[in-house]
Amino acid sequence: MAKSFCKRWLVTGVLVACMISFMCANPGAAQARNLKIRLAHPMAPGNNVTLGYEKFKEVLEDISGGKIQVQLFPNCMMGSDRDGMEATQRGSIEMASSSSPNMANFSKKFLIFDLPYITDMKYQKNLYQALDEGDLGKYFDNLAEEINLRPVMFSEYGYRNFVTSNQPITKAADLKKLKVRTTASPVEVETAKALGMNPTPIAWAEVYTAMQQGTVDGEGNTFSLLCDAKHDEVIKYAVDSHHNYSMHMLMCNNKWWKGLKPQQQKWIKQAAHEALVYQRGITIKLEAQATQKMIDEGIQVHKLNNAELAEFKTMTRPVWEIFRKDIPAELFDMISATQK
């Protein structure tokens, strides 16, 4: 009897060891029953990008019947755009979101979206169709894979506008010699220089204090994000320059993605699509609300006329030539094809 008992325990032990070995060799097997996704992003509560990721979580948990759970880490809880994306590259977390300017830290080809006035709001649908269904999206899929990432969502961040704490802005010349906060994107830095400004790269989490204390005179961002992040408390003047377009790119670790079951990948893709439709659909409305909020608060918001806008475009166009050596001609062509 003792032998039989020992034999049963031996068999049980072997089976357990085999299961552990299988799970270690096949991480997707453990994920088949319950998958947890940690998603880090730097955006403030109520922002259009934030709302999009909240929708992504809601939809994904619903369609998977709770088999996939998403834990959101917003508002720089895991550090800057770059911090979160580097953690995703390493596999420390599953997903992170970065603005397109900050993605230039990982590949200079992402600079294409930063170039001043390379896209126009009236052709936004064409751009998204190329990203979601066309060769442009495939190009960035391949680019991301080279750095162990995979695109999940190209969320609409919006068009950046210049704002200041101390200088009225009604034309491009009003920006000359002002200290302006930029991201680390070299395109943003060169755009500021082209307008005669003194660029000062500062991490997003530090910008409010920098504006408040006069470390910088101004910054460029969407009105909606500025209001969501309470920067309207330190802003006195603004102009609808729309000088560059940004996206927030949600990426996942590519190795992790390849280890998922086909059904899990299908759920994630479906949730991302539904969240994108929702997120892009609310962006214009939220930007208009933020613009009105700033006006109601006494912030002077100047709307550029055609001649004033043309001056901004003329002064910043040389920035394109500076970066042609870093951005393939085919990428310029693909973006250009969406702007007609």
**Predicted pLDDT of residue 184:** 80
Please name the residue ranges forming H helices in 64-157. 81-90, 100-103, 124-133, 135-146
CB 149 within 8 Å of CB 251: yes
Q: For residue 299, which amino acid is it?
A: I
Q: What are phi and psi of 285, to 5 degrees?
A: -65, -45
The Cα-based distances of 179 to 114, 167, 258 in angstroms read 20, 11, 45
**Predicted pLDDT of residue 25:** 46
Q: For residue 340, which amino acid is it?
A: K
What tokens appear for 318 in the block? Answer: 């040389």
pTM of the model: 0.82
**Predicted pLDDT of residue 21:** 46
List the chain domain ranges: 33-338
Q: What are phi and psi of 9, to 5 degrees?
A: -65, -35
Enumerate residue ranges in the chain where pLDDT < 70. 1-33
Share of the chain above pLDDT 90, in %: 85
**Predicted pLDDT of residue 82:** 92
Does domain 33-338 correspond to CATH entry 3.30.420.40?
no
Residue 11 has a CB neighbour count (10 Å cut-off) of 10
Residue 303 has a CB neighbour count (10 Å cut-off) of 11
CB 250 within 8 Å of CB 95: yes
CB 219 within 8 Å of CB 181: yes
Place of tokens 């596999």: 91
What tokens appear for 99 in the block? Answer: 């603005």
What tokens appear for 218 in the block? Answer: 């101004």
How many Å separate Cα 203 from the centre of its chain? 15
**Predicted pLDDT of residue 33:** 65
